[in-house]
Structure 1
Amino acid sequence: MVHTTKGIVLRTVSYGENSVIVLLYTELFGLQSYIVNGARTSKKTAAKNNLFQPACILELEVYHNDLKNLQRIKEARWHYLYQDIFFNMPKNMVALFMTELLQKVIRQPEHNPDLFNFIEDAYIQLDKADIKVTAGYPLFFALQLTSFFGFSIRDDYTPVKKILDLREGEFVKHLPQHPHYLEEPASAAISQLLKVMQPFELHHIALPLAVRRELLGSILQFYALHIQDFGVMKSLPVLQEILS
């Protein structure tokens, strides 16, 4: 049976002599893998293969079978055509960071329209963002994403509770008996970022480069404490260099 759904490209790998396998997060079926035959055989199909770059937001007609691990695409076209992400190096690296993070946290094919809408909007807002918003975007996205996976940081910062316990995801009065925590001013900055509901609000938060780097590293540590086998973010060193 053919279904129409939106899908966001997370990864594309070559398969055989002329095909690719595309990992997509879809609106209807969650995380799915699709084989695209003949994607690398001619200029025409190579141009179509540009649709399957990481972060692309597509409109798809797909064949779906719950009993199969590998699905097929009948038709693919742009749902949202980026104006800036593929041509702006900082935005492109932020998009690749977001895509890698999604691959690490989305592991099952559950249908979750709220998560899909959040991810779709996050990429579109990045495409429209200015320089200042782009610089803080990895922090905003990584913090907001946690709420969909049940381990978000509780924003209960006060002048008394000003130490962020990364293991527990909350602000506390006293230093924890483990090394996974943040003190001021980094903990206060996290509290500020947790209050950001829309990307444009990042304009109101001035964070020096060194602080942004520390915070992003700590947020990824938070992920590693709550997601088994989270591993290392390969895009992080390049992202930090590009946004420096």
Structure 2
Amino acid sequence: MLHKTRGIVIRTVKYGDTSVIVSVFTELFGLQSYIVNGVRSQKPKAARGNLLQPGNILDLVVYHNEIKNLQRISEFKLGYIYTSLHFSVAKNTVALYLIELLQKCLKQPEQQLELYYFTENTLQLLDVSTMAVTANLPLYFTLKLGEHLGFRLNGRFSEYSPYLDLQEGTFSYLPPHHPYHLDPESSSLTDQLFQCSEVQHLAGISMNKERRRRLLYAYLDFFRLHLPDFTEMHSPPILHEILDA
């Protein structure tokens, strides 16, 4: 049966001589794998394979069978045309970080509408954002992704709760007796990031590149504490080098 759905390309791998298997985070069915034939040949229509780059947002017509692990795509086209993301090394690197993080976290082929819309919206806002927003976007997305996955932060930073306990996901008066916590300055910045209601407001949160780097690795530790099968990521060192952040 054919279905129309939006989808975000997560990963594309070569299959055979002319085909690819593409992992797509879809609006209707969550994470799905599709085989796409004839997109790596010399024929003119094979150029459409360029649309299957990680991070691209697609309009899809797909065949879907619940008992199959590998589905097929009937039609696909760009659902959103980036104006700057593919031409900006910094924005493209941020997008690849977001996609890699999603890939590490999405395991089951189940519909997750709120997470899908949040991810698509974030990628579109990244495309039109200033560099001040771009630099903080990986931190914001990481915190909010954790919330969508079920381990949100509880409480608020204050003089009475200046330490963020990453193991418990709560702000506390005293530092906990384990290493997974943030100092008061990092805890305050984290609270500001998490409370942002509009991505554009990220531009108003100022920090130096070393603080930003330490925060991102702390947030990834937060994921490891709550997702036992969360594995090492490759994009953060590249991200920090490209953003000088």
Q: TM-score range by the shorter chain?
A: over 0.9
Alpha-carbon spacing, 1:25–1:50, altered in 2? closer, same or farther (3 Å): same
Shift of 1:45: 3.5
- Partners of 1:239 and 1:45 lie apart in 2 by 34
> Is this contact kept in 2: 1:155–1:191, CA < 8 A?
no
Q: In structure 2, the residue corresponding to 1:175 is in which secondary structure?
A: coil
Amino acid at match of 1:135: A
Instruction: Give runs of ≥4 in structure 1 deviating > 3 Å.
Output: none
Instruction: Tell me how far apart the structure 2 counterparts of residues 108 and 6 of structure 1 sit (CA, whole Å).
Output: 18
How many residues align? The count is: 244
Please name the residue that 1:137 is paired with: 137
Indicate the residue corresponding to 2:6 in structure 1: 6
- Range 68-77 or range 110-119, more displaced: 110-119
1:24-79: CA deviation from partner (whole Å, max 9, x where unpaired): 00011111000001110125244201110000000001111001000000000010
Show the counterpart of 2:200: 200
> 3-state DSSP class of the match of 2:86?
coil
**CA offset digits 1:147-179 (Å, max 9, x no partner):** 111101124211021111000001111221211
Instruction: Report Cα offsets for 1:97-148 as digits up to 9, x if no partner.
Output: 0000001111111112111111110100000101110011101111111111
Q: Single out whichever of 129-138 and 147-156 deviates more from structure 2.
A: 147-156
Residues 151-170 of structure 1: pairs in structure 2 closer than 5 A: 151-170=151-170
1:38 and 2:38 are equivalent in the alignment:
yes
Aligned match of 1:215: 215
Whole-Å Cα distance in 2 between the matches of residues 57 and 94 of structure 1?
A: 15
Q: Give the TM-score taking structure 2 as reference length.
A: 0.97
The Cα shift of 1:96 comes to: 0.1
Secondary structure in 1 matching 2:85? coil
Determine the C-alpha separation between the residues in 2 that align with 1:43 and 1:34.
Answer: 21
- C-alpha distance in 2 between matches for 1:156 and 1:27: 32
Matches within 5 A, 1:120-135: 120-135=120-135
Which sections of structure 1, spanning at least 5 residues, go unmatched? none
Matched, 1:25 2:25: yes
Q: Relative to structure 2, which stretch is displaced further, 148-157 or 53-62?
A: 148-157
**2:115 is aligned with 1:115:** yes
Partner of 2:100: 100
> Which residue is equivalent to 2:242?
242
Q: Give the SS at the match of 2:148.
A: coil
Q: TM-score, normalised by structure 1?
A: 0.98
What code does the residue aligned with 2:64 have?
H
Unaligned runs of 5+ in 2: none
Distance in 1 (CA, whole Å) between partners of 2:121 and 2:202 is 16
Distance 2:100 2:197 in 1: 22
Residue 76 of structure 1 corresponds to which residue in structure 2? Answer: 76
The answer on whether the counterparts of 1:2 and 1:64 sit within 8 Å (CA) in structure 2 is yes
Q: 1:189 corresponds to which residue?
A: 189
User: Equivalent residue for 1:52?
Assistant: 52
Question: Counterparts of 2:155 and 2:62 in 1: how far apart (Å)?
Answer: 41
1:174-225: per-residue Cα shift (whole Å, max 9, x none)?
Answer: 2212111111211111111111121100121111111111111111110111
Separation in structure 2 between the aligned mates of residue 242 and residue 58 of structure 1, nearest angstrom:
27
Alignment partners' CA distance in 2, 1:92 and 1:111: 26
* Partner Cα distance (1:119, 1:134) in 2: 15
Q: CA RMSD in A?
A: 1.0
